Amino acid sequence: MEITFTLEEIQDVVKQIFANSIKKVVTFHADMGVGKTTLIKELVSYLGVKHMASSPTFSLVNEYKAANGDIIYHFDLYRLNSEEEAYDMGLDEYFYSGNWCFIEWPEKTPNLIPLDHSAIHIKLLPNGKRHLTVK
């Protein structure tokens, strides 16, 4: 799936993402400031989380509970120093928990990400739009 969109169209993009049967573990690939956290906030909201999601930059993971009881984990691995640090923190247990896992900066833990996951790539275009690819 590929989409080019403006930030004003992000709710429609989220509907299309879920219509394409994404896996429960989703990695997000984009440069800093392109909109990974913004997209994750909308995905979490779509799943029924009532309070606003924020970036877990300093805590590494935020946990949300959807209205239906589903647990959603949002990871920002940017500040990790090593994959071993992530393993010591038990991040792999989250990734294999069966719960939704939205992972920013997954390249910090390439050996811990489940093989069966969806990957979202976002690029900022010169006109300010985003180009999104889901694999």
Per-residue pLDDT of the chain (135 residues; tens, 9 = 90+): 999 999 999 999 999 999 988 999 999 999 999 999 999 999 999 999 987 656 665 678 999 999 889 999 999 999 999 999 999 989 999 999 999 999 999 999 999 999 999 999 999 999 999 999 999
3-state SS of the chain? CEEEECHHHHHHHHHHHHHCCCCCEEEEECCCCCCHHHHHHHHHHHCCCCCCCCCCCCCCEEEEECCCCCEEEEEECCCCCCHHHHHHCCHHHHHCCCCEEEEECHHHCCCCCCCCCEEEEEEECCCCCEEEEEC
pTM over 0.75: yes
pLDDT for the residue 57: 59
What are the extents of the domains in the chain? Answer: 2-134
pLDDT for the residue 38: 93
pLDDT for the residue 60: 87
pLDDT for the residue 67: 85
| Of 105, 51, 55, 98, residue with least CA distance to 81 | 105
Token representation of residue 41: 């906030």
CATH-assigned architecture of domain 2-134: 3-Layer(aba) Sandwich (3.40)
pLDDT for the residue 55: 66
Measured distance CA(67)–CA(84) in Å, rounded: 34
pLDDT for the residue 8: 95
pLDDT for the residue 53: 58
pLDDT for the residue 54: 62
pLDDT for the residue 58: 60
